[in-house]
Structure 1
Amino acid sequence: MSLSEVVLLIEDLDLVAFYGQNDKNLNAVRKAYPDVTITSRGGMMKLNGDKKRVQEVKSKLEMMSKMLRQYGELSKGNIKDILSGENPFITKIKKDSKNVIVHGRNGKPILPRTQNQKKLVESSNENDILFAIGPAGTGKTYTAVALAVRALKLGLVSRIVLTRPAVEAGENLGYLPGDLKDKIDPYLRPLYDALDDMIPPEKLALYMETRVIEVAPLAFMRGRTLDHAFIILDEAQNTTEIQLKMFLTRLGPNAKCIITGDLSQIDLPRRQQSGLIKSLNILKNIEGIGMLQLTSADVVRHRLVKQIIDAYEKHSEVPHVPRKEKNLNEKEDKESTSD
């Protein structure tokens, strides 16, 4: 028997997600390969045993790390597939195909990656207006844009309107260099980025030129009626009460709307209250208006972002979405407690 020792480094991964709570993922591998000694210390693992068996374990662990990097999670089913020799990516694709919102560029499937993102999709399907509130990195804007693109592709709407208030970090558009487009484009860049991910460049350029897709600052919405449209208001925490009321009353027949915001990042002048906070309270009991709270558990950016958000929340009081009857979050809680 040829003995071997292999060192694996996984320092760039969320170690808790990789190893599992109380090392349950690693212990599952140990149980499947009792003849290979697996020791771990931080982001380093050592494998000792028969050369062939060590290579098998190395291959399984690398598959686990690849799965975690691509999807941000490792489920019990993923581990089972990997250890049984099944391809976990094929299994996941088959499972996820039911949840795909839309296929983006090069056929890339765009789908909700967390439970609350799934609820966002469900609530948008059930309501004409949806407030999706949560910290940065929870995918609320990206998911909302995917829903808008899907509605356009299916012919449910004839246009998409994406808007943001151009008030961030205390800057005033009048003092920024360039023409109007140069001034507003930096504020709208996240919306362009999402669209770039979902629509081929030539088609997106045509949609923008013919105003099938319109990306504009909130001030441009005044006096308009938006019918047969899917409208997204992003960064709504930076709207005043008057601005948000103006926006909500732009909706015409066969229009659908998603308002996203992060109540921990309000950039309005100190004496101005966010219109989003008031709207969440006064509109909470209206049928057809949904409200959804995303949390740091939904963060799909770098693993440290979730910890950063949690740390800030411990040292500040951030308003939350008010509970409302038939709220999907509430419904989910009831279902889970009855299981």
Structure 2
Amino acid sequence: MIKNIKFIEVIVIKKYVDLPEDIEIVEIFGTYNNRAKYLKSKFNVQVSYNNNKISVSGENENDIEKVINIIKEIIDVLSNGHLLDWTEFQYIVSLYESNDKQNAKSNYNQVVNTTVSGLRIQAKTHGQSEYIKLMKENDIVFCIGPAGTGKTYLAVAMAVEYLKTGRVQRIILTRPAVEAGEKLGFLPGTLYDKVDPYLRPLYDSLMDFMSADKVMEYKEKGIIEVVPLAYMRGRTLNNAFIILDEAQNSTYYQMKMFLTRIGFNSRAIITGDTTQIDLENKKDSGLLIVKNILKDINGISFIELTENDVVRNPLVKEIIKAYDKFERLKGEKYEKK
């Protein structure tokens, strides 16, 4: 006896995107089709290419539409001369995957500066795009976020652009040297030699945008200063682009001192990561309370970047998430002593 057999009709939907003649399919599908495979794993679709058309097929029209929009956005970015890396590709996918339609259209067209090697520096995430916008519109911007989100690098890129175009007359980069006491006292050289390891990351960023000779020339002329935060006391800084890096390691009084140094026609960018406070007592950090004090003042803006804005090795994002989870579970027990 043959039992009744029910047949379920599966409707496969297929949509197409035209590939512009000046774009190679490998720029979209990736090496060994790794990007096409990634889209398949995330949205359960088939992605293929034939006769200058990219086809996306599957059973869920919503997922197909997301992949179509992802591909269109990648084509837009490529058409504007920006070659997406793997991290940028993953970021775009993550926005559509989380239905973040408001931020899904990333701003890659806004070039902040160009490196010595010719690389255009642009926003790679929505958070970075908003950060760049705030830096252009406000005299003082606080950018708080984890490692790898481009807080300092984008600020330095903007500072060099302002100097090159004559909008400021000098750049001042500063950091707190939280161990500028006993541990550094045994090192040879002047105080500048002793604190140089703390300032080296700022020099590294500068040298991406101008030659080492030019940096040294500007340093000798006072056009560029890279100094410990303690050296800012008593100064008034006019016509300058000022960056306070690692601000989480400044005290309440140091932060107040720094902010009151800012003169006419100056911009100040303050960057920091409140999860990386190296002060003996974390509660002394001037970055922790400053938003409550200054939040209602026009011309001062705050932005918080997250692990979604990390543009280093994708593992960095996972490491940040893992530590955040661990610290939430363990609380104060594992804070630095």
Structure 2 partner of 1:56: none
Write the mapping of 1:1-339 to structure 2, written as runs, cut at 5 A.
Answer: 19-20=38-39, 22-24=41-43, 27-29=46-48, 69=85, 72-73=88-89, 96=108, 98-167=109-178, 172-270=183-281, 273-316=284-327
Tell whether the 8 Å contact from 2:239 to 2:265 is kept in structure 1 after alignment.
yes
- The DSSP-based 3-state class of the residue aligned with 1:29 is strand
Stretch moving more, 109-118 or 250-259: 109-118
Structure 1 residue 175, shift from structure 2 partner: 3.9
Tell whether the 8 Å contact from 1:237 to 1:275 is kept in structure 2 after alignment.
yes
| Alignment CA distance shift 1:17-1:290 (3 Å) | farther
Tell whether the 8 Å contact from 1:236 to 1:261 is kept in structure 2 after alignment.
yes
Query: How big is each residue's C-alpha offset from its partner over 1:137-184, in whole Å with a ceiling of 9 and x where there is no partner?
Result: 111100010111111111110000000000159974324443222211
- The DSSP-based 3-state class of the residue aligned with 2:173 is strand
Structure 1 residue 72, shift from structure 2 partner: 3.2
- The DSSP-based 3-state class of the residue aligned with 2:47 is helix
Structure 1 residue 240, shift from structure 2 partner: 0.5
| Alignment CA distance shift 1:169-1:72 (3 Å) | farther
Tell whether the 8 Å contact from 1:132 to 1:291 is kept in structure 2 after alignment.
yes
| Alignment CA distance shift 1:30-1:190 (3 Å) | same
Tell whether the 8 Å contact from 2:87 to 2:312 is kept in structure 1 after alignment.
no
Stretch moving more, 141-150 or 160-169: 160-169
Tell whether the 8 Å contact from 1:170 to 1:267 is kept in structure 2 after alignment.
no
Tell whether the 8 Å contact from 2:87 to 2:313 is kept in structure 1 after alignment.
no
Tell whether the 8 Å contact from 2:139 to 2:299 is kept in structure 1 after alignment.
yes
- The DSSP-based 3-state class of the residue aligned with 1:28 is strand
Structure 1 residue 29, shift from structure 2 partner: 2.9
Task: Give, in whole Å, the separation in 2 of the partners of 1:18 and 1:204.
Answer: 45
Structure 1 residue 106, shift from structure 2 partner: 3.1
Structure 1 residue 21, shift from structure 2 partner: 6.8
Structure 1 residue 30, shift from structure 2 partner: 7.3
Tell whether the 8 Å contact from 1:170 to 1:268 is kept in structure 2 after alignment.
no
Identical columns (%) = 52
Task: Give, in whole Å, the separation in 2 of the partners of 1:237 and 1:21.
Answer: 42
| Alignment CA distance shift 1:241-1:17 (3 Å) | farther
Structure 1 partner of 2:96: none
- Equivalenced residue count is 258
- Which one has a bigger Cα radius of gyration? 2
Task: Give, in whole Å, the separation in 1 of the partners of 2:193 and 2:243.
Answer: 21
TM norm structure 1 = 0.68
- The DSSP-based 3-state class of the residue aligned with 2:167 is coil
Query: How big is each residue's C-alpha offset from its partner over 1:176-201, in whole Å with a ceiling of 9 and x where there is no partner?
Result: 44322221111011111110111122
Aligned-residue CA RMSD in angstroms?
Answer: 3.2
Tell whether the 8 Å contact from 1:169 to 1:267 is kept in structure 2 after alignment.
no
| Stretches of structure 2 lacking an aligned partner (at least 5 in a row) | 1-30, 56-77, 94-106, 330-337
| Alignment CA distance shift 1:251-1:107 (3 Å) | same
| Alignment CA distance shift 1:308-1:223 (3 Å) | same
| Alignment CA distance shift 1:102-1:17 (3 Å) | farther
Task: Give, in whole Å, the separation in 2 of the partners of 1:116 and 1:177.
Answer: 42
Structure 1 letter corresponding to 2:193: D
